[in-house]
Amino acid sequence: MSAPDLKDKVIVVTGGAGFLGSFIVEKLREKGAKKIFVPRSKDYNLIEKEAVVRLLKDQRPDYIIHAAGSVGGIGANQVNPGKFLYENLMMGSQLIESCRHVPVEKLLILGTICSYPKFCPVPFKEEDLWNGYPEETNAPYGIAKKLLLVQAQTYREQYGLNSIYLMPVNMYGPRDNFDPHTSHVIPAIIRKCIQAKKQGDNKIICWGDGSPTREFFYAEDAAEGIVLGLLHYNGKEPVNLGTGQEISIRQVTEMIVKMTGFQGDIEWDDSKPNGQPRRCVDISRAEHFFGFKAKTALADGLKNTIDWYLKTQS
């Protein structure tokens, strides 16, 4: 599969200093990219249109990967529905609009698994994206991201903007966000187990009842898929990125408990929301369109993530 030479391409990665973005930048360098620019919010607040226009004028990018976002777990989504909707919509929408006025060769937009209907048939197929309302706790975030797909498709049709849209599933890995107020499930459980072990606690408390399923995607694999999409995909249809493997929250919690060496009990707080009942995506488009298949087994990815977190605590 031939690919464009990235050596002389100017590539802007929004969110490139963040969790996933840092892996994307590394993958781009592995593929030969030399001219990568990561905008910081203190210099370019992408919620403001003036800053987006200035970014494109200053950098004159050939490619843009839009990985920036306001994100968090179920708790953060419950507390910030308006903030997450507004900031994600503004960042993405103004970037797409600004790109049609300058000669950007390609724009890659990262969507989210949260855009799928709450009761979507499993595995989630891209053609089912519009067949229902998203799960309530993350619907504002998911809808904001889904609107960017519509904008990308209509701007392709009307203005010829080459923009593609990829939807990664729940990501985890080293460098993840372990903040107790905003983290997603895997870093939250890792943190709870390690803290409980240190403090001699005899139990950890987890949200929900443990029955929902998720598909967990190692961030380095996700970055590989994103860069392959940038290099090889030029279609208008959204594309799932994931592993195609489903596991319950209860099962992954038990794995983390065992791997961290926590000896206590798991208490499930079913007064807290479960979130979407099931999540697992059909990964056939990504493999067909740009040859992507995830490599990292969940057990290996969890071990790497736990080891990384322990190093940050020492």
Q: Give the span between the Cα atoms of 94 and 167, in whole angstroms.
A: 20
Structure-token match 């839009």, residue found:
66
Residue 270 has pLDDT above 90, yes or no: yes
pLDDT score of 1: 57
What residues have CB less than 8 Å from 199, skipping those under 6 apart? none
**Residue-wise pLDDT tens digits, 139-173:** 999 999 999 999 999 999 999 999 999 999 999 99
Region 125-137 average pLDDT: 96
Look up residue 35 and give its two tokens. 């001219």
**Residue-wise pLDDT tens digits, 12-34:** 999 999 999 999 999 999 999 99
Q: How confident is residue 59, by pLDDT bands cut at 50, 70 and 90?
A: very high
Q: Hey, which CATH number is domain 10-176+216-245+277-296, 3.40.50.720, 3.20.20.70, 1.20.1050.10, 3.30.390.50?
A: 3.40.50.720
**Cβ atoms of residues 185 and 170 within 8 Å:** yes
Q: Cα-atom radius of gyration of the chain, to the nearest Å?
A: 19
Residue 141: active-site member: yes
**Cβ atoms of residues 24 and 50 within 8 Å:** no
Q: How confident is residue 76, by pLDDT bands cut at 50, 70 and 90?
A: confident
H-assigned helices in 114-218: 139-159, 185-199
From 44, 63, 141, 165, active-site residue: 141
Q: Tell whether pTM > 0.85.
A: yes
